[in-house]
Amino acid sequence: MMDLNAIAEFVDDASRYAKAIPQLSETGKDLTLPQAYEVQRLSVQRRYDRGQRQVGVKMGFTSRAKMIQMGLDEMIWGRLTNVMLVEDGGEIDLKNFVHPRVEPEIAFLLKKPLEGIVSPAEAMLSVEAIAPALEIIDSRYENFKFNLPDVVADNTSTSAYVVGPWVRPDIDFSNLGMVMSFDGRAVQIGSSASVLGHPLRALVGAAKLVGEDGGRLEAGWTIMAGGATAAEALTSGLHVRLEAQNMGSVSFSVT
Ligand code: OOG
Ligand code: MG
């Protein structure tokens, strides 16, 4: 029998101390997807035991660009905690990461809980605001390589995120241009429509998957819809900015 607690400690330590680990599936720890979600739960519980608290959920593999880049095509989710939030315009320090990448996203702020099977219109009623956001992903696995259970066990590479100005969700955000730039040079250009045709579908997916796991999305939580484009590797000194049409911009620097 696989010791899921020991694996949870292994991935949590890798994230805590920013040390790369071999892929679980390459080292005799072949998890089923439900076991991988259990490892994720146990590893994030270790963060809660250190005083962190859950502030939201992030979705993964919700765009073709992300699926193609990572070679995986099933929607996944991970847990966001309070220490992962970087203030807009703030800095991250490379030494706290293994090999971070950044991707442009849309974030939702919930004003009401959301649970289980809901329609996009129902999901919309729970949305307080939306914002342009940047997710900094950092797989703890060597060479940023993993299969689906590996990445799920590693809290879906979640490490930090930056949220721009919250705007009221009464604009049509189904197909807004998104330009991510490094030091003023565009490195990824996409559209919010790349996320499942409409980013609201990522929120619907989050309610469903978290519901199947016995939980719900809570009022006050931030839900990250998933990268609209492929992710880009971060290097020291970069200034990263995302400009989202009609939504404003969000940025951070790497030191
Ligand atoms: C897994 C996380 C995927 C997204 O937005 O698709 C993700 C990874 O690519 O390392 O956050
Ligand atoms: Mg992401």
Give percent of the chain with pLDDT exceeding 90. 99
Per-residue b or e along 99-137, where b marks 16 or more CB atoms closer than 10 Å to that residue's CB: bbbbbbbbbbbbeeebeeebeeeebeebbebbbbbbbbb
- Name the domain count of the chain: 1
Ligand 1 atom nearest to 61, measured from its CA: 6
**Range 215-221 average pLDDT:** 98
**Range 203-230 average pLDDT:** 98
Q: Whose CA is nearest to atom 10 of ligand 1?
A: 157
Residue 174: CATH number of its domain: 3.90.850.10
Q: Domain limits at 108?
A: 4-254
> How far is it, in rounded angstroms, from Cα 115 to Cα 106?
20
Q: How far is CA 62 from the centre of its chain?
A: 11
- Ligand 1 and 78: CB distance under 6 A: no
For the chain, how many residues are written? 255
**Range 209-217 average pLDDT:** 97
Q: Are 126 and 217 in contact (CB under 8 A)?
A: yes
**Range 216-222 average pLDDT:** 98
Assign 109 to helix, strand or coil.
Answer: strand
**Range 32-46 average pLDDT:** 98
Under the banding of pLDDT at 50, 70 and 90, the label for residue 133 is very high
Q: How far apart are the CA of 140 and the centre of ligand 1, in A?
A: 12
pLDDT at 1 over 80: no
Q: Are 12 and 47 in contact (CB under 8 A)?
A: yes
pLDDT of residue 197: 98
- Ligand 1 and 61: CB distance under 6 A: yes
